Amino acid sequence: MTHHRVAPVLLLTCLSRFVVALVCVLSLVSSTSLSQTRITLRLTDWADLDEIPLDQQALAEFKRLHPHIDVLYEPNPGRQYEEKILTALAADEPPDVFLLDSKLIPTFTNKKILIDLNLYVQELGIDTTLWFPNVLNIARKGDALYAFPKGFTPLMIFYNKDLFRASHLPFPTSEWTWEEYLSIAGKLTKDFDGNGETDQFGTAFSNYYYFWIVWVWSTGSDVVDPNGRTAVGYLNSERTESALQFLIDLQRTHKVAPNTGTWVQSEKTGINTQLFLNGKIAMMMDGHWRLPRYLNLVEEGKLEIGIAPIPRHRNGRKANVMYESGWCVPVSSKHPREAAMLAAFMAGETANRIRATRRLEIPSVISVAREVVAGDRLGLEKAFVDEIAACRQPWGSIIERFSEIEWTLQDAVDEVMVNGKPMHETMTRYAAKVDAELEKIRAQEKTEFKPIRQHLEIVEFLGGVSLLLLSGCALLYLRAKGTQRRATGTAIGFLAPSLLHLAVFVFTPIVFSAYLSVHRWDIVVADKPFIGIENFREILKDEGFWNALQNTFIYSFNVPLAMAISLAVALLMNRRLRGIALLRALYFLPSVTSFVAIALVWMWIYHPTFGAANALLAVVGIAPLQWLNSSATAMISVIIFSMWLSIGYQMVIFLAGLQGIPEELYDAARIDGANGWQRFRRVTLPLLKPTTFFILVTSFISSFQVFTSIYVMTAGGPVRSTDVIVYHIYQSAWEQLRMGYASALSWILFLLIMAATWIQFRMMGRNVEYS
């Protein structure tokens, strides 16, 4: 009886447990299935603080439409965007979607880094007629489409309507000519107080390639032939030279444009924009990216602007440039279909409409651009959109690694504008240089990209390094005998974490750079052959290297001067005076302040027209200098800045040394009748030898490694007058993508530093006593 009662209970219990287990299994399978269908995509662009919220808003809308897709947003603002993308590609971990600047298109398409998005256009129902045709065509190569356009801008002339009205001048028309532009600029240039100094300029000119190339095109000429194969006969043609001379004469001959310095100074300080906003410049050339800043002042009633196209050349044609960007997908994306969907969405109507609220660019979608024009009560957007028909794509979107050519073209114009060299002779010389560079670039155009992990020789090399390190440890262990062997094993065990750190982050990179230096190792080129010492031979024949080496040695002369000044300051700070602690802190403050912020301040100080340096020279009756804007004074300017910056750090070291000298020695010297100079010479200097030697050696090493001040303040210019070895290495590695060549340069720099340090130890180190 009991048995019959228990059996149903057991049966029900078993069934219930089976049901629970079944539910658990089904839920597990369901959750596993969901987790398998959930996709995470990475998206990267160069958005700044103004753009990031717009991108986040667009991505939130994408997420709402596609809840199974998560998007990891990774904005990378700044000049290093290209480097970060290339590094990610080399590591085979690129974002699934990233923003492609038009100048990167030929490199990425020739190396087959990007997916042809036509593969997904029909499948995803993407309507390519949404976008302006000539905007879309920039990302095409043959029948392939490599990016969906995000936005674009031509270059336009912005003008201050109030200044035009004050001079009783009509506003520019869409058909105005160079002659009319020059005439209007002359009438807008004013000396209100009659002191011989211009208070208001008619226009502004930047010697930046991206700005002056449009004027060359408007003459019907160019800097290279239509196929992008030669510059001879184009860069040095009469029409190209006349366009460049016209622009240079705006500042030099006609005096209707201020001397706002080289393009590095004018771009980084924003001097042209600031002068335009302050009513000191009536007209300036700029892109749509500047419009939001102007519109803020327009809404506040502080500014009224108009926009006109680039003036026509009387014998030329209407021409403009289209600087655009687009969303692309790398071939290594794990989810290419979904990535193409995201790229199309970020370039589509919804995302364009969100971005249009900030007026950062012209929307690439035709309907959204028309909405923006219709909603613009100031009529500014229409001027931009009307220029689309006259726009052509920049050479950077056609010629691979065009940034190398840009630097050469920039140097050509700087030679004439900054150094006063004759136009035709200079352009002819630089045209031959451009042709040589184009020949080098064409030699590697058709090679395909391959990420580092696919280069088995690297794995073999790293394996060899690891085996060498392990063999060294094993040899130490086996050579030890008896109790020493156990102690050696214990020591190796304790040191293993530090040895691993040194091996991974110090020894391996050093040895690997030596490996790269004997290979033709370009980041985006698959073939990386062993070439022996060919990189070193090329370096010795490279005029740029010898120029950079000379500039580096010149820069290093700041070390003894800075040390002398720092020692003098330390002697002053070693006194017992009220407030001396505050003075010490003030002297040391530059050493702990943002370097970039300080460099920008000094760029303003050095400004040839508005800077404090020339104002001080005027007080003592000295003629103004060009400072960073002349090949003759640029390096001296950087040296003065570096000396000022290093005083605080060196002062602290000297001060520590001074306070370590026993006061009894000074008392004894005074008793012996020694005056202040004799005490300094016979007591202070000898006892400061260890401190002085330390500062000398470390400062010389730092001077050979100077980079940041050059990168921020001059970009190696004008005309390579401040190009130093480390900056030369940076350009070779990240602008020319030649890692093998850059590694060879690094080894030469390493040997130079070793030699200089050895010489210092041989000449002075033996005379230093540390007791």
Please tell me the predicted confidence (pLDDT) of residue 326. Answer: 92
Q: Phi then psi for 157, rounded to 5 degrees?
A: -100, 115
> pLDDT by residue (tens digit) across 429-480?
999 999 999 998 887 766 667 666 666 666 677 777 778 878 887 887 788 8
CATH of the domain at 406: 3.40.190.10
Residue 546 sits in the same domain as residue 561: yes
**What distance in Å separates the CA atoms of residue 547 and residue 603, rounded to the nearest whole number?**
24
Q: Give 591's pLDDT tier (boundaries 50, 70, 90).
A: confident
Residues 191 and 283 in one domain: yes
The torsion defined by the Cα of 574, 577, 582 and 588, in degrees rounded to 10, comes to: -20
pLDDT for the residue numbered 702: 93
In a domain, 192, yes or no: yes
Residue 353 covered by a domain: yes
Report how far residue 325's alpha carbon sits from residue 339's, in angstroms, rounded to the nearest whole number.
17
In this structure, the answer to whether residues 648 and 719 fall within a common structural domain is yes
pLDDT at 456: 63
Is the predicted pLDDT of residue 25 greater than 60, yes or no? no
Encode pLDDT of 174-224 as tens digits: 999 999 999 999 999 999 988 888 999 999 988 889 899 999 999 999 999
In tens, the pLDDT along 546-575 reads 999 999 999 999 999 999 999 999 998 888
Q: Are residues 644 and 746 in the same domain?
A: yes
460 and 436, same domain (yes or no): no
**For residue 204, what are the contacts with CB-CB under 8 A and spacing of at least 6?**
257, 258, 260, 272, 275, 276, 281, 283, 284, 285
Question: What's 647's domain CATH number?
Answer: 1.10.3720.10
Residue 578: both structure tokens together: 């009220």
For residues 691 and 756, membership in a common domain is answered with yes
Q: In one letter, which amino acid is 116?
A: D
pLDDT of residue 609: 81
pLDDT of residue 19: 46
Do 192 and 208 lie in a common domain?
Answer: yes
pLDDT, position 85: 86
DSSP string, 716-769: T-STTTT--HHHHHHIIIIIS-BHHHHHHHHHHHHHHHHHHHHHHHHHTGGG--
Residue among 645, 644, 606 nearest 626 (CA): 606
Check whether residue 185 and residue 296 sit in a common domain.
yes
CB-based contact 381:372 (threshold 8 Å): yes
151-177 mean pLDDT:
95
Provide the total of helices (H) and of strands (E) in the chain, helices listed first.
36, 13
Task: Render pLDDT for 521-535 as a digit per residue (tens, 0 to 9).
Answer: 887 777 788 899 999
Contacts of 143 (CB under 8 A, 6+ apart): 118
Average pLDDT over residues 610-638: 90
Q: In this predicted model, what pLDDT tens digit does every residue of 84-140 receive, in sequence order?
A: 888 888 888 899 999 988 777 888 888 788 999 999 998 999 999 999 998 898 888
Transcribe 670-703 into DSSP letters: HHTT--HHHHIIIIIHHHTHHHHHHHHHHHHHHH
Q: In what order do the strands lie in the sheet with 155-160?
A: 283-287, 155-160, 305-308
Average pLDDT, the chain: 87
Round to whole Å and give the CA distance between 295 and 380.
10
pLDDT band at 30 (very low <50, low <70, confident <90, very high): very low
Residue 248 placed within a domain: yes
Phi-psi region of 616 (alpha: psi -120 to 50; beta: other; left: phi over 0): alpha
Judge whether 456 and 278 are in contact, CB under 8 Å.
Answer: no
What pLDDT score was predicted for residue 1? 42
What pLDDT score was predicted for residue 309? 95
* pTM of the model as a whole: 0.83
SS3 for 92? coil
In angstroms, rounded to a whole number, what is the distance separating the alpha carbons of residues 4 and 11? 11
Q: Tokens standing for 284?
A: 């300036």
Query: 406-438 burial string, b = 16+ CB within 10 Å, else e?
Result: bbbbbbbbbbbbbeeeebeebbbebbebbeebb
CB 392 within 8 A of CB 93: no
DSSP state of 227: T
Contact 305, 170 (CB under 8 A): no
Cβ atoms of 719 and 418 within 8 Å: the answer is: yes
CA dihedral 249, 254, 257, 262 (to 10 degrees): 30
User: In the chain, what percentage of residues exceed pLDDT 70?
Assistant: 92
- From CA 286, how far away is CA 307, in angstroms rounded? 10
CA–CA separation, 289 and 762 (whole Å): 57
CA dihedral 134, 140, 146, 148 (to 10 degrees): 10
The tokens for 577 are 């005076």
**447 occurs within a structural domain:** no
Q: Secondary structure of 150-190 in the HEC alphabet? A: EEEECEEEEEEHHHHHHCCCCCCCCCCEHHHHHHHHHHHCE
Contact (Cβ atoms closer than 8 angstroms) between residue 163 and residue 282? yes
What is the DSSP secondary structure assignment for residue 449, as one 8-state letter?
Answer: P
User: 47 and 10 share a domain?
Assistant: no
Residue 532 lies in a domain: no
- Report pLDDT for 701: 94
Is residue 349 domain-shared with residue 479, that is, in the same domain?
A: no
Q: Which region among 25-39, 225-239, 301-315 has the lowest average model confidence (pLDDT)?
A: 25-39
Report d(CA 343, CA 124) in Å as an integer. 12
* Whether the bond into 718 is cis, omega within 30 of 0: yes
Count of domains forming the chain: 5
**CA distance linking residue 262 with residue 417, whole number of Å:** 9
Q: For residue 65, give its domain range.
A: 38-153+326-370
String of DSSP letters for 356-369: HTTT-SEESBHHHH
Q: Tokens representing 408?
A: 């050469």
pLDDT value of residue 483: 76
* For residue 26, pLDDT beyond 50: no
In single-letter form, the type of residue at position 645 comes to: L
Burial class (CB in 10 A: 0-12, 13-18, 19+), 474: exposed
Q: Taking a C-beta distance cutoff of 8 angstroms, is the pair 62, 342 a contact?
A: yes
Q: Quick one: 496 and 552 in the same domain?
A: no
Among the residues of 1-97, which ranges form H helices? 2-37, 52-65, 81-90
User: Taking phi first (over 0 means left), then psi (-120 to 50 degrees means alpha), and beta for anything else, what does residue 153 get?
Assistant: beta
- CA 126 → CA 122, 151, 348, 619, 763, distances in Å? 6, 17, 9, 67, 73
- Which pLDDT score is estimated for 367? 96
**Nearest residue to 313 via CA among 239, 365, 419:** 239
- Read out DSSP for 492-543? HHHHHHHHHHHIIIIIHHHHHHHHHHTB--BTT-S---B-TTHHHHHHHH-H
Q: Is residue 378 part of a domain?
A: no
Residue 274 included in any domain: yes
| Domain end marker among 370, 401, 428 | 370
Are 164 and 243 members of one domain?
A: yes
Quote the pLDDT of residue 6: 40
- Which of 370, 396, 427 is at the close of a domain? 370
- The encoded tokens of residue 22 equal 């079944």
User: DSSP state, 389?
Assistant: G
Asked, for residue 533, whether it belongs to a domain, the answer is no
